[in-house]
Amino acid sequence: MSSRLGSQLPRGLLAAALGEGEVVECVGRLCGWVTLHGGAVTLPLTMLARFGVEIGDRPLVVRGSGLAVGFAARGPLVREAERHAGLGVFEPDAC
């Protein structure tokens, strides 16, 4: 793999041997996977808790490692995005 994160991901995650919704730490980050269904993902409550995301939070979709979609729930990227009223917000009913 060409990315720093991709070269250090646990083999189980790459081979999908890690169960859907399970979370592991790799390269100082939490990683996990869920299946995309009809353009949307549903994260199990246990996964949300492990990432510190609560019902009602609005995670920001960010460009990640090039391996998958990444999300940010807090931090400087989220604060910057909040200043841009023109960014689209995807509501559950819109998917």
Query: What digits encode the pLDDT tens for the residues 78-90?
Result: 899 989 888 887 7
For 42, the 3-state DSSP assignment is coil
Q: Band of the pLDDT at 1, cuts 50, 70, 90?
A: very low
CA angle 70, 73, 78 (to 5 degrees): 95
DSSP strand pairing (29-32 vs 23-26): antiparallel
pTM: 0.63
